[in-house]
């Protein structure tokens, strides 16, 4: 098979881009595929850091037949970047696959693209190949089909089609008007393609994609689509220049291997009508979405529909699996057995993603980060905040704590605005060495400090409170850490978003599966018996406050509750 080169267009989103590369490399054809990366330049001071982070990352990419990088000195914008980049490569290679830095793909995407590009290479009626389909009902539909025109989320074409691209939007409008095709172009009035083209002409957008679609539509050419989308747009989160928010347009991708490629080149009328129905009433046209399970390791179940991550996850899982899925497996007798049966973390650059996101929060360009993902609104753990403010009040308006496993300061930045009137705030983080090194370089200041061990932090800052927020279940030997905490003699110990087993169930060790839309990981997780845990803590501490913490979805067959617990040292509690 002839492997088409990939043109990848990138700008300032290293976290999105790293996921795109992760998913591409799961395609076995990637090792035989040449990758051309076009990196757009910055617009000014506001995006220089993001652009440079992307450029640092793309220098590390490997796993392809070759990687060729072009760095634009100035900012061309997406339209000019794509038109010039695709033209350059397609003139040299004759065919091309095109991706942007927010399009993740299934593991058979390259197989589908290359098979179709080869099959229809001499079919003049075919404009190109597309990896995307709207989330319409898939019942009784072929694996792939043709629609008139072209599209832009994970696509490929040949020089003969690209040469027909008309960049003058007014000429395209005039041709639509002359042939009275606007209603048909707009899918029988269900979608405003013509208005999008008018907006491009008026300078309200600079879309290359609407001109590409209109050009192929007017030439009466067809694009092949898979019925189950092989791509997902993860950029519908306001992170991109043109990335608006959408609840339904890109719910997920499939790992299906397409084997049917139609010989007859004509528009599939049944699917066209389904798409028209989708645009007229997307909530009824899309497959039914049931409740999904947001894993504990993501640390926070997203409850507001405004938070794009939740929207992507619940739609993606149901589109991909079409069933309720528990994100846990097994029941293991030892940590070693669990580790042997899971993949661990497979996504690279997790630290880089967290750093990039938290720098935006620190700089005021974003409001909230968790697990490297940025959100439009802060979701507070009110029990945690209540406990922090209580300890501050009884400590004479001084809050000096160690945040064990606190990443680069996610909880600190989340709650900082409510701690403005604390007269003396010291927030120390104990983490893995690479996080500590990064924290010291980019985040440490007079309030926020980073340490390698609890003992080091205790010696230097002498905190009176230790916080473990969604940490205890992920420790190989949680009771050994609790022993160390008891020996460290803190006045207060605070656990937040920590799940416990009730009804007399003994400690259980499972594997938790993180959805690939975040990063691929399988992680051992402990669910500790609540009474046993209390008995252990009561050797030195008394339970001062107990709250039900943020709701999360746990294995359905177990009685698990998420708790926020504040303990006081016994002699301190009696005062």
CATH number of 6-164+219-285: 3.90.550.10
* Domain positions in the chain: 6-164+219-285, 328-573
Whether residue 529 has pLDDT greater than 80: yes
pLDDT at 367: 73
Left (φ > 0), alpha (ψ -120 to 50) or beta: where does 409 sit? left
d(CA 154, CA 65): 20
pLDDT digits (tens, 9 = 90+) for 11-70: 999 989 999 999 999 999 999 999 999 999 999 888 899 999 999 999 999 999 999 999
pLDDT, one tens digit per residue, over 80-120 is: 999 999 999 999 999 999 999 999 999 999 999 999 999 99
Cβ-in-10-Å burial (0-12, 13-18, 19+) of 46 comes to exposed
Average pLDDT in the 557-564 region?
90
Q: Which residue has the tokens 């997790």?
A: 350
**Residue among 213, 192, 232, 5 nearest 113 (CA):** 5
Same fold, 6-164+219-285 and 328-573: no
Q: Report the distance separating Cα 165 and Cα 215, nearest Å.
A: 6
Q: For position 299, what pLDDT does the model report? A: 30
Q: For the residues of 402-446, what is the DSSP string, one character each? A: EEET-TTTHHHHHHGGGGTT-SEEEEEEE--HHHHHHHHHHT--S
At residue 242, the pLDDT reads 43
Torsion of the alpha carbons at 101, 104, 110 and 113, rounded to the nearest 10: -80
Checking if the pLDDT of 137 tops 90, the result is: no
Res 79: pLDDT: 93
Say which CATH superfamily domain 328-573 falls into.
Answer: Vaccinia Virus protein VP39 (3.40.50.150)
Beta strands 34-39 and 6-10, pairing class: parallel
Whole-model pTM: value is 0.54
**Residue 180 or residue 301, greater confidence:** 180
Per-residue DSSP letter, 229? -
């Amino acid at each position: 098979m002839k492997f088409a080169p990939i043109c990848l267009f990138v700008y300032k989103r290293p976290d999105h881009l790293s996921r795109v590369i992760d998913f591409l490399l799961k395609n076995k054809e990637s090792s035989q595929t040449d990758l051309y990366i076009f990196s757009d330049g910055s617009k000014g001071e506001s995006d220089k850091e993001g652009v440079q982070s992307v450029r640092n990352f793309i220098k590390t990419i490997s796993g392809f037949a070759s990687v060729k990088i072009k760095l634009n000195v100035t900012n061309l914008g997406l339209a000019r970047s794509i038109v010039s980049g695709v033209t350059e490569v397609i003139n040299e290679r004759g065919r091309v696959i095109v991706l942007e830095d927010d399009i993740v793909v299934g593991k058979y995407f390259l197989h589908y693209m290359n098979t179709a590009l080869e099959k229809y290479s001499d079919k003049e009626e075919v404009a190109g190949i597309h990896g995307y389909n709207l989330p319409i009902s898939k019942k009784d539909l072929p694996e792939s089909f043709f629609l008139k025109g072209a599209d832009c989320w994970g696509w490929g074409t040949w020089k003969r089609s690209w040469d027909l691209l008309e960049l003058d939007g007014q000429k395209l409008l005039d041709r639509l008007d002359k042939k009275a095709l606007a209603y048909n172009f707009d899918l029988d009035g269900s979608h405003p393609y013509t208005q999008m083209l008018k907006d491009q002409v008026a300078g309200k957008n600079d879309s290359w994609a609407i001109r590409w679609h209109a050009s192929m539509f007017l030439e009466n050419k067809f694009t092949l689509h898979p019925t189950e989308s092989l791509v997902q747009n993860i950029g519908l989160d306001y992170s991109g220049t043109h990335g608006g928010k959408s609840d339904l347009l890109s719910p997920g991708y499939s790992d299906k291997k397409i084997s049917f490629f139609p010989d007859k080149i004509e528009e599939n009328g049944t699917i066209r009508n389904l798409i028209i129905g989708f645009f007229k009433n997307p909530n009824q046209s899309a497959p039914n979405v049931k409740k999904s399970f947001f894993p504990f390791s993501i640390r926070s179940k997203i409850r507001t529909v405004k938070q794009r991550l939740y929207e992507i996850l619940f739609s993606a899982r149901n589109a991909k699996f079409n069933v309720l899925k528990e994100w846990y497996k097994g029941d293991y007798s030892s940590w070693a057995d669990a580790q042997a049966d899971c993949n661990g973390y497979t996504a690279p650059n997790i630290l880089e993603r967290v750093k990039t996101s938290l720098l935006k929060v620190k700089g005021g360009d974003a409001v909230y980060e968790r697990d490297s993902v940025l959100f439009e609104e802060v979701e507070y753990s009110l029990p945690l905040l209540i406990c922090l403010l209580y300890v501050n009040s009884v400590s004479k308006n001084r809050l000096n704590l160690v945040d064990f496993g606190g990443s680069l300061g996610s909880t600190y930045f989340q709650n900082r605005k409510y701690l403005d009137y604390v007269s003396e705030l010291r927030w120390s983080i104990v983490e893995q060495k690479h996080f500590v090194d990064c924290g010291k370089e980019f985040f440490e200041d007079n309030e926020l400090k980073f340490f390698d061990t609890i003992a080091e932090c205790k010696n230097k800052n002498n905190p009176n409170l230790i916080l473990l927020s969604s940490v205890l279940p992920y420790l190989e030997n949680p009771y050994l850490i609790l022993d160390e905490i008891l020996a460290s003699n803190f006045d207060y110990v605070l656990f937040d978003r920590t799940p416990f087993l009730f009804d007399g169930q003994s400690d259980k060790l499972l594997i938790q599966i993180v959805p690939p839309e975040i990063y691929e990981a399988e992680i051992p997780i402990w669910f500790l018996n609540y009474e046993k845990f209390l008995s252990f803590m009561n050797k030195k501490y008394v339970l001062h406050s107990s709250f039900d913490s943020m709701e999360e979805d746990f294995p359905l067959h177990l009685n698990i509750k998420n708790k926020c617990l504040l303990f006081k040292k016994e002699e301190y509690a009696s005062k």
